Amino acid sequence: MHSKKGVRADLFSVTPFVYYMALNQINSHIRHVIDHLAGEKFKRFVKLYSAWKGVVGELLAERSHPIKIERDTLFVGVENSAWMQELILLKPQIIQKYRAQFDEELRDIVLVINSKGKKK
C-alpha cells in the first residue's frame, strides 16, 4: 500500500511521459492537417519549411526562410547581405543535405534579401 506521498511521487514521475505522448499525438494531427491543406502542389515546400532548421541549422534558420520551390530551385529569403554571403558559401552543403533528407532533386538555391514573412 502506497502512502499519499508515494502515490503523488508516482503520478508526477509519469506525468512528463503522458504529457509528451499527448503532444506527439497533437503534433501528428497538426502535421496531417497541414499536409492535407497543402495538397500535392505545396507538399514539397511544406515539408522543407517544417524542416528548415534541421537543414541549415538553428542560427541560419533564424536569419533565413524558404520562399518557394520552383523547377527544382529553392528560393530563400535572407535577413541581410552578411547572412546571404554565409548561405552562398554553404549552398553545396545545403543542397546535399536536402537531397539526402528528402530524397528529392534540388539543383540550385536562389537567395534574396527579404526579411518580410520571417517568423520572429
- Note the pTM of the prediction, 2 decimals: 0.67
β-sheet bridge partners, residue 110: 75
Give phi and psi for 66, each to the nearest 5.
Answer: -65, 140
Grid coordinates of 70: 520552383
What distance in Å separates the CA atoms of residue 59 and residue 51, rounded to the nearest whole number? Answer: 14
pLDDT of residue 118: 47
pLDDT of residue 90: 96
pLDDT of residue 42: 77
pLDDT of residue 43: 79
Residue pair 73/109 in contact by the 8 Å Cβ criterion = yes
Domain segments of the chain: what residues?
4-113
β-sheet bridge partners, residue 108: 73
pLDDT of residue 111: 97
Q: Does domain 4-113 have CATH number 3.65.10.10?
A: no
- Least Cα distance to 56 among 104, 24, 90, 81 occurs for 90
Q: What is the pLDDT along the chain (120 residues), one digit of tens a residue?
A: 455 555 555 555 556 666 566 666 666 666 666 665 656 667 788 889 889 999 999 999 999 999 999 999 999 999 999 999 999 999 999 999 999 999 999 999 999 998 655 454
pLDDT of residue 31: 64
Residue 120 has a CB neighbour count (10 Å cut-off) of 4
